[in-house]
A and B are shown apart, each in its own frame.
Chain A
Amino acid sequence: MMEGRGYRRTGFILALVWFFLSIFPLYFVLVTAFKPPLAVSQGPTYLPFVDFQPTLQAFRDAFAGLRGDFWGPIVSSVLVSVTATALAVLLGAMAAYALVRFEFRIRLLSGVIFAIISIGGFLLLNGLWGLRVPYSMAIVLVLALVVSVLANRLPLPGPVMKNDDVTFWFVSQRIFPPIVSAFALYLLYTEVNKLGLRLTDSFPGLVLAYTAFGLPFAVWLMRDFLATLPVEVEEAALVDNIGRFRIFFGIVLPMARPGLIATSMIVLAFIWNEFLFALLLTSGKWQTLPILLAGQNSSRGDEWWAISVAALFSIAPMIVVATILGRMMRSGLLTGSIK
């Protein structure tokens, strides 16, 4: 169409410009990984063999573990991120489905009751009676949940929270600045450690924290994607008396594939790059890539070649993921799946 062409050209130029802006820093990183120190300290250089003689020294140093164990964090990051992402997206999509297809009514007062019992109970058990943190928490959690769920059945006065508020609650978990939560979570984990269940510097501990970390995104994003799905297909299945879980896994999820993939990628990216919790909750065995990357910012100064190598390895698996995703996102492959 005629008037489409002007927009297409603008779009093309925009995409091209953005392409160069995105790529140039990455190109610079790639090239810097091969630079000898003088090629950095004497001014910017851009072209290998023209501006400077490339060398593999930075790579050799990295593999030899000169600036920290190299392979451990890579393995660690991959295992933890993939597992946590899978769990977060699965549980998050389930929760999102519930929020989209059903109605929840939670009285504010029962929420307040929960808060009072959990906070007050914890202070009582741990502060006054000196019961250990994990036990206090467990008791308080169960008690508060049971009481507030029962309380919800009663016709209590006050406003009622609906689905949107529940979603908001999930997302609000992300607002809290991670400083104190990381410290407090570390405290909790070490307390549980003392009881014999190893949570710090362990796979389960890290995956648990990261799943909780990724759930708010998963819930929030999947909720919008699932909301756009036509409800008739499910209702038809319901009439045929197919169970909800089968509907969910057999019909809904496949229909929501673009959203599912996009959400998984977002969650994966966030977990892959998370730094603060990884720093506190890991020690020698499960350190992840962001810690290795931060370690390149050493007091010896910005050794740009070392930073570049670490950054390259940090992004390499992600390039694979992005490529796979990019292929799947080709328009036409997925839009037709709805019909």
Chain B
Amino acid sequence: MRSSAAKRDGIKHAFLWPAFLVVLLISLFPLIYALTVSFQTMRIVPPTPPRFVGVQNYAEILQSGRFWGSMWTTTVITVLSVVLEYVLGFALALALHHNVPGSSLYRVTFLLPMFLAPVGVALIARMIFHPYLGPVNDLMRALGLGNVPFLTEPNLAMAVLIIVEVWQWTPFVTLLMLAGLQSLPAEVFEAARVDNVPAWRRFWDITFPMLLPISVAVVFIRLIEGFKVIDTVFVLTGGGPGTATETLTLFAYNEGFKKFNIGMTSALSFTFLIVVIVFGTVYLALAQRLTRRYA
């Protein structure tokens, strides 16, 4: 018994290791490289020989107002967009699931924004929100609101960035929640309908809890990806005015690819990694508790 169970269990390695190895192969060297370099000052321009400086890079980052500012900006944009994406995406998935009129058309068009490259979406958004030549301000002018400085007033710029993110990524949520909805066993709902459970209770007591695992996963992935937002900001505002809309990845990008300050960029990346992992672990622990309570 034991040996056949062990032999049966042995097959799990054949399933897991290919994926594990591929990821390890690609990510191990960059991780090692980044880690070692983060403890050195290494600049490619001007060419300076690397010097070991211990935690100096990290200390500089943690004391840098610009770093904390970009963390704050990134957090605000990401959290607000993901909340909106989740609520909207879930609602849309429900609508599609219950076959509102036009569903077959919506199924295709709703997915489209997600399939555009972020840099493409950013360019399109720049066209649309252009203060003088874009349709949105055309509408604003028609409504008598004049030319709204969408991209140059810090709060408005943040709002625009959030809108663009929501526009592009709500389909992601919709798609996954819809797949989740379609995987739910039908007889539970039939039983609830027979018992005359009202629609609202049906949703909160059955649908939502059963979809919690996938909800947690979807929100988590969106948060992680959202934290790395760069193309939209780069194209729409350049991080300005000043550094008001500068996100963390944009900050890292400028440090790494414009100033080629590789040491600092690596330290920045690791700090970011640690922060997000801590945050992610907390999130997942909370989500676990929530799931267990409901399901």
Q: Per the CB under 8 Å rule, do A and B touch in the complex?
A: yes
Binding site for B on A (CB under 8 A): 1, 3-4, 7-8, 11-12, 14-16, 18-19, 21-26, 28-29, 32, 40-41, 43-44, 46, 91-92, 94-95, 97-99, 101-104, 118-119, 122-123, 127, 133, 137, 141, 164, 166, 168, 170-181, 183-185, 187-188, 208-209, 211-213, 215-221, 224-225, 227-228, 244-245, 248, 258-259, 261-262, 265-266, 269, 272-273, 275, 289-290, 293-294, 296-297, 302, 304, 307, 310-311, 314-315, 318-319, 321-323, 325-327, 329-331, 334-335, 338
Binding site for A on B (CB under 8 A): 8-9, 11-16, 18-20, 22-37, 88, 91-92, 94-120, 123-128, 132-135, 138, 167, 170-172, 175-176, 178-179, 182-186, 193, 198-200, 213-214, 217, 220-221, 224-225, 227-228, 231, 235, 248-249, 252-253, 255-257, 262, 265-266, 268-269, 272-273, 276-277, 280-281, 284
**9 A-B pairs in the complex with CB atoms less than 8 angstroms apart:** A22-B171, A40-B133, A46-B135, A99-B16, A174-B225, A175-B277, A177-B272, A179-B265, A273-B120
Chain A residues near B248: list those with CB within 8 A. 177
- Closest 3 pairs (CB-CB, A-B): A326-B107, A318-B115, A11-B95
A204 to chain B, nearest CB (A): 12
Add 20 more A-B contacts to A181-B27, A307-B124, A321-B115 (CB < 8 A).
A1-B193, A16-B102, A19-B106, A95-B15, A98-B13, A177-B252, A177-B269, A183-B256, A187-B29, A208-B26, A213-B26, A220-B221, A244-B8, A258-B182, A273-B116, A293-B117, A294-B119, A314-B117, A326-B107, A335-B186
Give Cα A97–Cα B11 distance, bound, in whole angstroms: 11
Answer whether A224 and B134 are a contact pair too, CB < 8 Å, given A14-B95, A25-B128, A215-B22.
no
Measured CB to CB, the nearest residue on chain A to B214 is: A224
Find out whether the CB atom of B22 lies under 8 angstroms from the CB atom of A180.
Answer: no
Find out whether the CB atom of A307 lies under 8 angstroms from the CB atom of B112.
Answer: no
Chain B residues near A262: list those with CB within 8 A. 175-176, 178-179
B119 to chain A, nearest CB (A): 5
Give Cα A24–Cα B128 distance, bound, in whole angstroms: 10
Q: Summarize A's interface: helix, strand, loop or mixed.
A: helix
Chain B residues near A178: list those with CB within 8 A. 228, 249
Find out whether the CB atom of A212 lies under 8 angstroms from the CB atom of B29.
Answer: no
Find out whether the CB atom of B15 lies under 8 angstroms from the CB atom of A97.
Answer: yes
Answer whether A329 and B179 are a contact pair too, CB < 8 Å, given A28-B135, A122-B32.
yes
Give Cα A118–Cα B32 distance, bound, in whole angstroms: 8
Interface centre among B27, B88, B178 (most CB of A within 10 A): B27
Give Cα A26–Cα B100 distance, bound, in whole angstroms: 23
Give Cα A245–Cα B12 distance, bound, in whole angstroms: 10
Give Cα A14–Cα B93 distance, bound, in whole angstroms: 11
Among B19, B104, B179, B224, point to the contact of A259 (Cβ < 8 A).
Answer: B179
Find out whether the CB atom of B256 lies under 8 angstroms from the CB atom of A179.
Answer: yes
Find out whether the CB atom of B20 lies under 8 angstroms from the CB atom of A95.
Answer: yes
Find out whether the CB atom of B199 lies under 8 angstroms from the CB atom of A4.
Answer: yes
Find out whether the CB atom of B23 lies under 8 angstroms from the CB atom of A94.
Answer: no
Chain B residues near A302: list those with CB within 8 A. 123, 126-127
Q: Summarize B's interface: helix, strand, loop or mixed.
A: helix
Give Cα A95–Cα B20 distance, bound, in whole angstroms: 8
Find out whether the CB atom of B104 lies under 8 angstroms from the CB atom of A326.
Answer: yes
Interface contacts (Cβ under 8 Å), in number, total: 330
Find out whether the CB atom of A275 lies under 8 angstroms from the CB atom of B117.
Answer: yes
Give Cα A259–Cα B217 distance, bound, in whole angstroms: 13
Chain B residues near A269: list those with CB within 8 A. 114-115, 172
Answer whether A94 and B19 are a contact pair too, CB < 8 Å, given A175-B224, A184-B29.
yes
Give Cα A319–Cα B171 distance, bound, in whole angstroms: 14
Give Cα A10–Cα B248 distance, bound, in whole angstroms: 38
A50 to chain B, nearest CB (A): 15
Find out whether the CB atom of A22 lies under 8 angstroms from the CB atom of B110.
Answer: yes
B74 to chain A, nearest CB (A): 11
Answer whether A168 and B284 are a contact pair too, CB < 8 Å, given A25-B128, A118-B32.
yes
Give Cα A92–Cα B276 distance, bound, in whole angstroms: 23
B295 to chain A, nearest CB (A): 11
Among B9, B125, B182, point to the contact of A329 (Cβ < 8 A).
Answer: B182
Give Cα A238–Cα B92 distance, bound, in whole angstroms: 40
Measured CB to CB, the nearest residue on chain B to A227 is: B213
Find out whether the CB atom of A273 lies under 8 angstroms from the CB atom of B109.
Answer: no
Chain A residues near B178: list those with CB within 8 A. 262, 329
Find out whether the CB atom of A14 lies under 8 angstroms from the CB atom of B16.
Answer: no
Among A175, A185, A228, point to the contact of B273 (Cβ < 8 A).
Answer: A175
Find out whether the CB atom of A330 lies under 8 angstroms from the CB atom of B107.
Answer: yes
Find out whether the CB atom of A212 lies under 8 angstroms from the CB atom of B22.
Answer: yes
A130 to chain B, nearest CB (A): 15
Find out whether the CB atom of B18 lies under 8 angstroms from the CB atom of A94.
Answer: yes
Find out whether the CB atom of B110 lies under 8 angstroms from the CB atom of A171.
Answer: no
Chain B residues near A289: list those with CB within 8 A. 117
Measured CB to CB, the nearest residue on chain B to A77 is: B117
